[in-house]
Amino acid sequence: MTKRILMLEDGNYFIGDAIGSEKETIGEVVFNTGMTGYQETITDPSYYGQIITFTYPLVGNYGVNRDDFESINPAVKGVVVREAAEYPSNWRNQMTLNEFLKEKGIPGIAGIDTRKLTKLIRKEGTLKGILAAETADKEELLHHLRSVRLPVDQVHEVSSAKAFASPGDGKRVVLVDYGVKSSILRELNKRNCYVTVVPYNTTAEEILAMHPDGVMLSNGPGDPKDVPEALEMIRGIQGKLPLFGICLGHQLFALANGADTFKLKFGHRGANHPVKELATGRVDFTAQNHGYAVEKESLIGTDLKVTHIELNDETVEGLAHKEFQAYTVQYHPEANPGPSDVNYLFDEFMEMMNVKEEGELHA
């Protein structure tokens, strides 16, 4: 089998077996702790520009199927695994992980010590990395890697270029696409919503002209401060329409209301993150995928209150506006992959839209 190198910007490197596409790629090397759900993870638009390291030692054992995609065209730059299963076993299996990566043009590396790599990222923080042919000159590779600046237009790259509708007979929801997962759209469709998905730079005026019952801010990749267009839009709709934000949408909501965000050392990516609801003390296990978080101290003096915290590091996991019908969460209630403990948040969004309608009828 052809050999490949994963070079990190700190000079550490790993030699393993090449899988997937033969092309060279550069990205931010991150790790995901999920034991399953690799197909959903690889196709999650929030991984745009990143090289995913799977900490579970065997990946690809149930293959790839046509139903579990979170986007049609994956935005991930590369995949790192300890072992890529060559003979998957599942009744829905249609191709191997290696075949899927080749089909989608995603390079990968297998057979390396992913435990060592994960510990390195936890110690040093997220690092840039390059996947290249094993024969490449290591000094030149390192120099090239260090000279490359990672893109800051991630949301622009993964957001829908034009608005489109997913019809239903129920509530009318505008879903702002910062890199939305298909699972979020499916959860709204399950509740019979008429969903209009709009690009990330849609204005408040354009959204209000659609006369929706509520607005959802989706997940997405990168630094929330690279999406300034969203802040004016959020300020223009909150207070006028029920608002629900997920992941990047949560961070943008915080920025729009005067709070601040910061980059985590190595992020939260996996399906086993415990989150506590402060009002009830309830603890749920959640799916997460983010490299940034809301700065708790920056919420002082704003109109926002913390509703949820992460029990591992006590970072902010949920916010609510003190006056308006608006709340957001850092984690993924739609899961996929991950536990569905917090799926009820979509029902709460539906109830919030019902309350608004009843209020208007009695006004």
Would you please indicate which residues are annotated as catalytic (active-site) residues? Answer: 247, 332, 334
How far, CA to CA in Å, does 165 sit from each of 134, 168, 197, 233?
47, 9, 6, 20
Give the C-alpha separation, 35 to 58, whole Å: 9
User: Which of 255, 71, 270 lies closest to 180, judged by CA?
Assistant: 71
Q: Is 289 annotated as a binding residue?
A: yes
Q: Is 220 annotated as a binding residue?
A: yes
Q: Is 251 annotated as a binding residue?
A: yes
User: 3-state secondary structure string, 100-161?
Assistant: HHHHHCCEEEECCCHHHHHHHHHHHCCEEEEEEECCCCHHHHHHHHHHCCCCCCHHHHHCCC
Q: Show the DSSP H helices in the chain as ranges.
A: 38-42, 97-104, 114-124, 138-147, 154-158, 182-190, 204-208, 229-237, 248-256, 344-361
Give yes or no for a contact between 170 and 193, defined as CB atoms under 8 angstroms apart.
yes
Q: What is the DSSP string of 279-312?
A: TT--EEEEEEEEEEEE-GGGGTTSSEEEEEEETT
Give the C-alpha separation, 117 to 115, whole Å: 5
242 exposure class (CB count in 10 Å sphere: 0-12, 13-18, 19+): buried
Q: Is 12 annotated as a binding residue?
A: no
Q: Is 65 annotated as a binding residue?
A: no
Q: Is 46 annotated as a binding residue?
A: yes
User: Which of 87, 16, 75 lies closest to 41, judged by CA?
Assistant: 75
Strand partners, 215: 174, 243
User: Which of 54, 98, 106 lies closest to 80, judged by CA?
Assistant: 54
Residue list for the binding site for L-glutamine: 46, 220, 222, 248, 251, 289, 291-292
